[in-house]
Chains A and B, each alone.
Chain A
Amino acid sequence: MNTEADISTLFQVIGTGLVVTIVMTVVSFCVGAVIAVPVALMRTSRTWLVRAPATAFIDVVRGIPTLVWLLIIFYGLGNIVSLDPLPAALIGLTLISSAYLAENFRAGIENVHTGQKEAAAALGLSSAHQFWRVIAPQAVNIAMPPSASYAVALLKDTAIAAIIGVTDIIFFAQQEVARGAPAVTAFLIAGGFYLIVSVPLSYFSRFVDHKIREKVVVV
């Protein structure tokens, strides 16, 4: 091992998992964001009966480690319906990202200056227009930077999916180590592949943060 040819093979094999890693991140982030909207709306409701289930959902989902969620879903749901590792991981990661993003959205909604809602109300806008035309666009702006950095955290979280057999970067790295490749080299390469995605993502999240600071000057 450790010849140049071997290392380039390692790169190729481990790199095969990159697509799955990216798919897990993108799908669970996007679907999670869609689910997060109604959860955040419920979470900011003035009615306790509406708010309580959303609060419970967020606390329970965030209170259990990602690893445990994936195991519960893979083995638990897998008992009821036949579930491949990837769909199980997608369900679990989506669940978790929806809870985290819902909290970001809630903070976004609550941090829109109260004067904005008052100004919208004073103009005679309906409650729906007040929310969707005035509060929501500003809440999204406020929620965007933390959500973009959450995308980086989520990308790294997907590494856990290898445990249930999802064929991502880590899966192939472990497979190569089992076949006799040096562990440090294999996992350094794996880490490098995460950096290829996470560094541009971090850069993008800072860019978003900067753009929004320019756009929204809080009074």
Chain B
Amino acid sequence: MTFDNARILLQADSIEKTFRGNRVLDGISMDVHAGEVIALIGPSGAGKSTFLRCLNYLEQPTGGSLSLDGEPVFADPLKPAKSELLSLRRRVGMVFQTFNLFPHLSVIENITMAQRLNGLRSRADAEDYALQLLTQVGVQQKAKARPSECSGGQQQRIAIARALSQDPELMLFDEPTSALDPEVGNDVLKVMRDLAEAGTTMIVVTHEMRFAERVADRVLLLDEGHILEEGSPARVFRHPEHERTSRFLQAVLDR
């Protein structure tokens, strides 16, 4: 996995999130380089998903700031302007644990809708691109079907194609295989591995340790709202600094 070490694509600076007095994120900072794949791991309740969702403002952080390509995303991170929100979300794609495909639209419409509404491509171009993406994720035969007629693994690959349709500079994955059978999940992980190899910048919240070890350039272990351990997969998995990390890894591997 190679990436342009010089170019920092996303910079998260001291991201905090407090839910009703409950401090979920305790000031997390992270630099993401263009082309880098980051795995966010950690026990449930550690704040992994919340942190990921702060990166496209599905959750609004209660403190801290984001920069994309060295430019602050928001003039005032606590009072995001609508235009700033739209611009951030069009540059950052997201894939959800539960796919969240639009059930009232066909598979191809799921992928063309935002392209057209956001003025990215004409109808014909959007359809061409959607078919190309569907082929890339191996679900082209389902283009005309409804999402409910697709298997879970197919739905998640369609959701990846939908996110990619916005030409995002960064892809966020929130436990993309947790709702899937292991066998089906592997198809999704394969698509993600291909993306990583093609140089896509990715942040993946995952419990798939083998995927993290093989595909990620860097692993971040979150615990109780802060980064407990950070480094290459080899270092985090083989030589963790903290006893807490060893215990977490042991627990996951014993499953």
Contact = CB atoms under 8 A, between A and B. Distances in A.
Contact of B102 (A124, A127, A134): A134
A216 B99 contact: no
Interface in B93-148: 93-94, 96, 98-104, 113-114, 117-118, 146, 148
Secondary structure call for the A interface: helix
A116 B98 CA distance: 10
Given A115-B96, A129-B117, A123 B166 contact: yes
Interface string A91-106: 0000000000000000
Given A122-B89, A125-B114, A216 B96 contact: no
A116 B82 contact: no
Interface in A71-130: 113, 115-116, 118-127, 129
Contact of A121 (B89, B104, B118, B166): B89
B80 to A, nearest CB: 12
B215 interface: no
A133 B103 contact: no
Contacts of B93: 122
B99 A124 contact: no
Contacts of B96: 115, 118-119, 122
B117 A217 contact: no
Nearest to A118: B58
Contact of B114 (A116, A123, A217, A219): A123
B100 A124 contact: no
A134 B110 CA distance: 10
B86 interface: yes
Contact of A215 (B56, B118, B146, B162): B146
Interface in B132-179: 146, 148, 159, 162-163, 166
A215 B102 contact: no
Contacts of A44: none
B166 A118 contact: no
A38 interface: no
A216 B105 CA distance: 10
A216 B100 contact: no
Interface in B49-107: 56, 58, 82, 86-87, 89-90, 92-94, 96, 98-104
B166 A127 contact: no
A179 to B, nearest CB: 55
User: Which bracket fits the contact residues of B?
Assistant: 20 to 34
A158 interface: no
Contacts of A116: 100, 102
Contact of B89 (A123, A141, A215): A123
Contact of A123 (B99, B104, B146, B163): B163
A216 B103 contact: yes
Nearest to A137: B104
Contacts of A205: none
Given A118-B96, A219-B98, A219-B99, A124 B118 contact: yes
A138 interface: yes
Contacts of A113: 100
Contacts of B118: 123-125
A124 B166 contact: yes
A106 to B, nearest CB: 19
Contacts of B89: 121-124
A181 B210 CA distance: 86
Interface string A176-219: 00000000000000000000000000000000000000011111
Nearest to B117: A129
A122 B148 contact: no
B100 A115 contact: yes
Q: Which of B58, B101, B103 gathers most chain A CB within 10 Å?
A: B103
A113 B103 CA distance: 11
Given A118-B96, A121-B89, A216 B162 contact: no
The 8 A-B residue pairs whose C-beta atoms are closest, nearest first, are: A124-B90, A119-B100, A115-B100, A124-B89, A123-B114, A217-B148, A122-B94, A137-B104
Interface of B: 56, 58, 82, 86-87, 89-90, 92-94, 96, 98-104, 113-114, 117-118, 146, 148, 159, 162-163, 166
5 contacts: A116-B102, A121-B89, A122-B163, A124-B89, A137-B104
Given A115-B98, A118-B96, A124-B89, 8 more contacts: A118-B100, A119-B100, A122-B92, A123-B114, A123-B163, A126-B82, A133-B113, A141-B104
